[in-house]
Amino acid sequence: MSQEGEAEQPSGEHVVHHVREMLYASITGVATLLALYVHAENLTGRAAAASLATTMGGLFLASLVADTLAYAHAGSGAPKPSVLRRILSVAGRALEVAVVPGVILLLADAGLWSVRTAIIIAVVVLSVTQFILVLLGLRGAGSTPAQKLWYLLLQAAAIVAVVLFKVLVK
């Protein structure tokens, strides 16, 4: 809290760190879903959602360990409770990104759509999430409209690369 009793705004560095974790998670989620797509006819929505949740849980744990090690490596020792809360908050972004796609996958079991369609919708949701995250990460960065467009195109290229890699490796 600030001296005036107002909640402090997170610094640009903290926002970018959160955005970075969410981008990692959403790209990992797209890759996971594309791997599941090939086997969609043999999956239930629950099984697909569980696979996505397992992947995001692993990413959460990896982020948690990596950030804790980075903190210790900086010579700060064990994280204080406030630092640990921040580390948990950042690592938790991987889990947040998976909520909507997970619900979409679970709705396939309710007969709303097929598992294959659910996977496609979830990939689209995660892809749109990535574009939104790029724009959020650029807020306050002093980027020109041309630079913002470049970053969006770069993100689109990353999504296309993941899809093409899956198609080629199939």
C-beta separation of 25 from 97 below 8 A: yes
The reply to whether 5 falls in a domain is no
What's the rounded Cα separation, in Å, for the pair 90 and 67? 9
Q: What is the pLDDT of residues 30-48, one digit of tens each?
A: 999 999 999 999 999 999 9
What's the rounded Cα separation, in Å, for the pair 78 and 71? 8
The reply to whether 155 falls in a domain is yes
Domain residue limits at 25: 12-169
* pLDDT score recorded for residue 133: 84
The reply to whether 23 falls in a domain is yes
The C-alpha angle 51, 57, 60, rounded to 5 degrees, equals: 145
* pLDDT score recorded for residue 55: 94
The reply to whether 2 falls in a domain is no
The reply to whether 90 falls in a domain is yes
Helix (H) or strand (E) holding 51: helix 45-71
The count of domains in the chain is 1
The reply to whether 27 falls in a domain is yes
In sequence order, which residues have a C-beta less than 8 Å from that of residue 138 and are 6 or more positions away? 147, 148, 151
Burial of residue 32 (number of CB atoms within 10 Å: 0-12, 13-18, 19+) = buried
